[in-house]
Chains A and B, each alone.
Chain A
Amino acid sequence: MRVDVVMPQLGESVIEGVVVKWLVKVGDTVAKDQSLLEISTDKVDAEIPSPAAGRIVEILAKEGDTVPIQEILCRIETEKVGDAPPPPPEKWDEEEEGFPGAMARKTGPPIPTAPRAEPPKEVAKPVPPPPAKEGVKVRISPVVAKMAAEYRLDVSRIPGTGIEGRVTKKDVEEYIARGGKEAAAVPAAKPALAPPPAPPRTKPAPPPGAKVTPEGDQVIPFTPIRKMIAEHMVKSKRTSPHVHTFAEVDMHGVVTFRNEKKKEGISLTFLPFVIWAAIEAIREFPVLNAQVVGESTVIKKAIHIGVAVDTERGLIVPVIRNADDKSLHGLAKEIDDIAARAAAKKILPDELVGGTFSVTNPGRMGNLFGTPIINQPQVGILRMGQVVKRPVVIEAGGEDAIVIRPMMHLCLGYDHRVVDGVAGNSFLFRVREILEAGEFHL
């Protein structure tokens, strides 16, 4: 049977490759894994191994050709008829360590605090996965552990097709589809920036990979993401002298606008409003959208806003590029898209770099206020607190009156190497003004 050899994708944003040299010709018999040709990309020369044993029947690209990815380079006729076709080229499988961080270098991700935009809905409390049977070594990833807990599965009963017999996410999905065990009711949560639901009341089982000491302590080796977050946080604090300033914002105008739009069927969280106000304030105080390079302050022209998102594997800060070109509604849509893709683990590494300012929203359980750590190499970060109804004093018709208003604390963290108190305070003041003025349009 025929087997096609295609141009592989040699990098995330790579769309083609160059055929440098054919190592075989039409009519040659080749073994599995034998190198067929050399392709090249910047500084890397790769030999493409044959996916199967057989005979080269057709060569479709010449030396020197630039070939788009996934296009056929040559065809092989395998010896036995009815051979199982070779596995298709591996899809980009995000269930893998090293994913977002490894791609993001110095202008890397990490994340100040855990954000949640919407109050998490009531969900069945996850039961910790039952311990593996004695003597059965079941190796699973945290994703699979969570799925198993949610669906109340005994992982040791699920056949694993991954490396070394590991149970992969797909294995679990198929097991469920085959009716292995009945799934617990898991309501479809709105794809907000909300990660897992209320913390379980039962004590969680130690994560896979954790060792338990004789005293009962859990030793959990750092995952790559955890290591990266840890390093970035230390580095950020060492690099930037952080100053935090707070504002208390009357969100009445925002709530009114939101409710109007809800009647029109458009659902908005508070986050797009805060981002929108921040962008406006950045226009007036551009030093908050800067970076320190050597001994210069570089005021960035473009405004790319990082939005902190909590995922199963840790916090990431995907960037909304050119956020200043977007309307309020556009920002809201993009935030929803990011949240959904983050939950589905479809955020690309390229989306985690290049931010110029960050906004973090811990949501309902974010408490009153917090002092976030700046996302290097930026110089400012804005943290939202919970919106709480409070009695406040306003002046109406020359008289003081007490009203109930939804109040939210905002905290601006800034780098005092280049942002002085005047700029930092004025920026935050302006953000508050914009939010309280309530003059929004989609």
Chain B
Amino acid sequence: MESVWLGCVEYKKALALQLDLVDRLAGRQCQDTLLLLTHPHVYTFGRSGDQANLLVSEEALTREGIPVERVSRGGDVTYHGPGQLVGYPIVRLARPDLHRFVRCLESALIDALGTFGVSSHRIEGQTGVWVEGKKIASIGVGVRRWVTYHGFALNVTTDLTYFQRIHLCGLKGREATSMIEITGRDVPMEEVCDRVAESSACHIRGFS
């Protein structure tokens, strides 16, 4: 699996890029790819997205220049923005073992976080990566032509106040956290990116 750092990319542009890769991978014209990037502020709803989980009006967000997108991924509502590492593993599945795929993403993130001294874990029944009861990384995956897209979002130095405008992933009473909040250190995005790329290459394998 190849990892590519794209820098800051607008959400819809990244989505178009993903869909193009999905088609090429489905046609076996390229190899599995992990896109690593950040987004400007955006709120997105997955298929199970409940409008009620957005706690402010869309007009208010539009006035601030923050788009709201609805996409074909699993999961409810989430926020992406500066300081958050977003990863889109575009992987061809020879078998539809989506559960294992999601678990591999979780493991990759847990391991990468471990290298920064952050002790995180899964919670059975609540996809994502958790630290002390708060969510440090969200996961929401889509599959088309048995190729995965969308993926995960890891809070490095994300401004967590933006999460206050939603019930994160539809879970009331669950808060978000970030690496800077947990460690007290301003971890450089590049370093996190490298570790996540490494860890993903280890864990996300055996699918095709």
Contact = CB atoms under 8 A, between A and B. Distances in A.
A390 interface: no
A92 B95 contact: yes
Contacts of B98: 10-11, 41, 44, 46
A11 B48 CA distance: 20
B104 interface: yes
B96 A46 contact: yes
B72 A98 contact: no
B107 interface: yes
B143 interface: yes
A45 B72 contact: yes
A40 B96 contact: no
Interface secondary structure of B, over-half rule: mixed
Contact of A11 (B97, B122, B127, B139): B97
Chain A contact patch, size range: 35 or more
A12 B102 CA distance: 12
Contacts of B67: none
Contacts of B142: 44-47
B119 to A, nearest CB: 8
B24 to A, nearest CB: 13
A85 to B, nearest CB: 19
Contact of A40 (B48, B101, B206): B48
A400 interface: no
Interface string B135-176: 000011111111000000000000000000000000000000
A93 B143 CA distance: 21
Interface residues of B, number: 39
B81 interface: no
Contacts of A92: 95
Contacts of B39: none
A10 B97 contact: yes
A410 B98 CA distance: 43
Nearest to B95: A90
B95 A42 contact: no
Contacts of A38: 47, 72
A368 B96 CA distance: 47
A203 to B, nearest CB: 31
Interface of A: 8-14, 20-21, 33, 35, 38, 40-47, 49, 90, 92-93, 96-99, 102-103, 105-106, 224, 227, 349
7 contacts: A10-B98, A10-B99, A11-B97, A41-B99, A42-B74, A98-B205, A227-B202
Q: Which 6 A-B pairs have the closest CB atoms?
A: A98-B206, A11-B99, A46-B143, A43-B127, A43-B74, A44-B74
Interface of B: 26, 46-48, 72-75, 94-104, 106-107, 110, 122, 125, 127-128, 139-146, 202-203, 205-207
Given A45-B72, A93-B95, 15 more contacts: A12-B99, A13-B99, A21-B47, A33-B26, A33-B145, A41-B74, A42-B127, A43-B74, A43-B127, A44-B99, A45-B74, A98-B206, A105-B103, A105-B110, A227-B202
